[in-house]
Amino acid sequence: MIAAFAPATVSNVACGFDVLGFALDEPGDIVIAAPAEGPGVTITAIEGDGGRLSRDVTKNTAGAAVAELLARLQTTRGVALTVHKGLPLESGIGSSGASAVAAVVAVNELLERPVGTDVLLECAMAGEVAGCGAAHPDNVAPALLGGFVLARSVQPADVVRLPVPDGLACALLHPRLSVHTGTARALLGDTVPLADAVRQWGNLGALVAALFTSDRALLSRSMVDVVAEPKRAGLVPGFYAVKQAALDAGALGCSLSGSGPSIFALASSIDEARAAGAAMQRVFDAHSDVGADLHVSLVGRAGARVVTL
């Protein structure tokens, strides 16, 4: 048996809607792959999902991703998967993508690494389609590769790895709420005013430049989302107060992670991320009684990897 871990990811990163994402060191999902009799893939067990996920391979991101991998390999070998969910569903931190990535990494290792990361990425994206109806490389790419990733194109997949400034850390607050990706996307509509688009492009370009130059002041100025955040902020109780608390505590920037409800803050060091996270949690608790979980981590450079259980 082979076990693989894939981490939580933050997508959009404020100004990079649908094109920018980064990985955390933890938390994440683990998928175990084992040989099975008969061809194809089966899901033998799912743990940590509260019984919500389907074991139907066509509807499960891990199963669909592995099915795509086996089809590309034209193999008759059978694989059985056990999925351990360490990430909450509909949380905005790449839960479905992490399962897909961990699954293909585990199976690729089980089969003695017949394909490279480019094929694994495409197969994980196919898993995302099964899980949520669309491929989102801004989640699966950083989960697979680690660090910051820019998804230049979906079809064909074209991703660019970006540098991670030393010490860059993240506080991630997950309110115990669910936000369905489709619902959150419907809030955005189909058009963006030209002035907003130009401002967003400028911020994204500056953020990429800041990563290359380790310019934290520029990074902070760039983390402004004028496209998605204003329309989705109402999904999270007290969002703007939480964001201001993070900034007052020294965070470089703060926004929704993916489509929410999770909120992330980037900071120059792990200590500053801890301070921002504590402030975020205090303020959120004052605005809502649903509770929230806080994770503080360096930006993860490793991405998905084989692990020993």
* Residue 132: pLDDT over 80: no
Whose CA is closest to 179, among 233, 138, 241, 223? 233
- How many CB atoms are closer than 10 A to CB 274? 16
Q: Which CATH number fits domain 2-162+301-307: 3.40.50.1220, 3.40.50.720, 3.90.870.30, 3.30.230.10?
A: 3.30.230.10
CA distance 60 to 226: 33
pTM of the model: 0.94
Identified catalytic residue from 9, 61, 82, 181: 181
pLDDT of residue 125: 95
What does DSSP say about strands 78-84 and 263-267: parallel, antiparallel, or unpaired? unpaired
- What does the H/E/C string look like for the chain? CEEEEEEEEEECCCCCCCCEEEEEEEEEEEEEEEEECCCEEEEEEEECCCCCCCCCCCCCHHHHHHHHHHHHHCCCCEEEEEEECCCCCCCCCCHHHHHHHHHHHHHHHHCCCCCCHHHHHHHHHHHHHHHHCCCCHHHHHHHHHCCEEEEEECCCCEEEEECCCCCCEEEEEEECCCCCHHHHHHCCCCCCCHHHHHHHHHHHHHHHHHHHHCCHHHHHHHCCCCCCHHHHHHHCCCHHHHHHHHHHCCCCEEEECCCCCCEEEEECCHHHHHHHHHHHHHHHHHHCCCCEEEEEEEECCCCCEEECC
pLDDT of residue 152: 93
Average confidence (pLDDT) over 33-51: 94
Average confidence (pLDDT) over 210-239: 97
Q: At residue 3, what are phi and psi to the nearest 5 degrees?
A: -110, 140
pLDDT of residue 121: 97
Q: Could you read off the pLDDT of 243-257 as tens digits, one per residue? A: 999 999 999 999 999
* Residue 214: pLDDT over 90: yes
272 is catalytic: no
Whose CA is closest to 142, among 23, 264, 12, 15? 23
pLDDT of residue 45: 96
* Residue 134: pLDDT over 80: no
CB 284 within 8 A of CB 292: yes
122 is catalytic: no
pLDDT of residue 131: 73
* Residue 182: pLDDT over 90: no
pLDDT band at 154 (very low <50, low <70, confident <90, very high): confident
Specify the domain boundaries for CATH 3.30.70.890 within the chain: 169-298
CATH 1.10.3720.10 fits 169-298, yes or no: no
Q: Could you read off the pLDDT of 99-126 as tens digits, one per residue? A: 999 999 999 999 999 999 999 999 999 9
CB 258 within 8 A of CB 17: no
Identified catalytic residue from 68, 90, 122, 128: 128
CB 114 within 8 A of CB 73: yes
First to last CA, the chain: 10
